[in-house]
Amino acid sequence: MLKLEEVHTYYGNSHILQGLSFSVSEGKCTALLGRNGAGKTTTIHSIAGLTPPRKGKIYFEETKIDSAPPYRIARLGIGLVPQGRRIFPSLTVKENLTMPAREPRKQTRDKKWTLDEIYELFPALKEREHNMGNQLSGGQQQMLAIGRALMTNPHFLLMDEPSEGLAPVIIEQVGDIIRMLKENGLSILLVEQNLFLACSVADEVLVMNKGQIVWQGSPQELLANEEIQHRYLGV
Ligand SMILES: Nc1ncnc2c1ncn2[C@@H]1O[C@H](COP(=O)(O)OP(=O)(O)OP(=O)(O)O)[C@@H](O)[C@H]1O
């Protein structure tokens, strides 16, 4: 469904993604793990068109997207839950949700998300619908960031460290949401620092180091492999 072939991405002269190749299957959650600075966010940004690759190819379904602008990539059905939530602080909760709203693609069997359904999924957002984005707790902001991405009715979701800075009980809720989205048929690429969250939701795990995939396997294989955990994840 999503395929990266020998992707090279730079910031100025810094060569960050160094021939990155992997693919994500339809209806699966694939977790991308690695230490700080391994290039995980750069991978997400390369796919979303925010930091386009200088070399290599990215395909979403049949479409080549490596030189497409971000708005077109979003319209193809790729949603983004960015690192650090990036909630609009001076818009209300409701405005944060309705501003990016978009109908699903034509001829899709995907679930259609509406404002009411987002409120049903996250009752705390309904209670605070007239509050400003910056009046929410970290957990509520994360729910808002997920809800905002769902309002674009994506076919594929990029999630960048959704557990960052959250309390364990909220991280468990994030895990439940990811599992529910997967059951609804959404395909997900999940960047995480939290090995246990990633392994509890993913079908497949990719480990990244210095801009390349250095290990690939099932969550069970990774949890049993202390050497890989130690070498690339600092566990
Ligand atoms: N805008 C930028 N300009 C220059 N270098 C950058 C920029 N953003 C990231 N980098 C560098 O690119 C490398 C990869 O960063 P990236 O954010 O993709 O890593 P990451 O694996 O997501 O780590 P983290 O968990 O810390 O976000 C790092 O060395 C970082 O310092």
Q: For 3-35, write each residue's pLDDT tens digit.
A: 999 999 999 999 999 999 999 999 999 999 999
234 vs 67: which has the higher pLDDT: 67
CA of 227 to the centre of ligand 1 (A): 25
pLDDT score at 109 = 67
Query: Which atom number of ligand 1 is nearest to the Cα of residue 39?
Result: 18
Torsion of CA 212, 36, 164, 7, to 10 degrees: -20
Percent of the chain that is helix, strand, coil (3-state, to 5): 35, 25, 35
Residue 32 Cβ contacting ligand 1 at under 6 Å: no
Percent of the chain with pLDDT over 70: 97
Task: Dump pLDDT digits (tens) for 85-109.
Answer: 888 888 899 999 988 777 777 666 6
pLDDT tens digits for 41-59? Answer: 999 999 999 999 999 999 9
Q: What are phi and psi of 80, to 5 degrees?
A: -130, 125
Quick check: CB of 2 below 6 Å from ligand 1? no
Q: Which atom of ligand 1 is nearest to the CA of 160?
A: 22
Residue 50 CB neighbour total at 10 angstroms? 15
Domain boundaries, the chain: 2-233
Lowest mean pLDDT among 81-90, 99-108, 155-164, 214-223: 99-108
Q: Is the pLDDT of residue 196 over 80?
A: yes
Task: Say what the ipTM of the complex is.
Answer: 0.93
Task: Tell me which of 36, 194, 206 to substitute to probe ligand 1's pocket, judged by most ligand atoms within 8 Å of the beta carbon.
Answer: 36
pLDDT band at 84 (very low <50, low <70, confident <90, very high): confident
Q: Which CATH architecture has domain 2-233?
A: 3-Layer(aba) Sandwich (3.40)
User: What is the longest distance spanned by two Cα atoms in the chain?
Assistant: 49
Q: Is 179 helix (H, G, I), strand (E, B) or coil?
A: helix
Residue 99 pLDDT: 84
The CA distance from 73 to 67, in Å, is 10
Q: What is the average pLDDT value for the chain, to the nearest integer?
A: 92
Report residue 108 as tokens: 């899709």
> What value does the CA radius of gyration of the chain take, rounded to a whole number of Å?
17
DSSP letter at 132 equals B
Task: Please say if the pLDDT value at position 63 is more than 90.
Answer: yes
* Atom number of ligand 1 nearest to Cα 34: 21
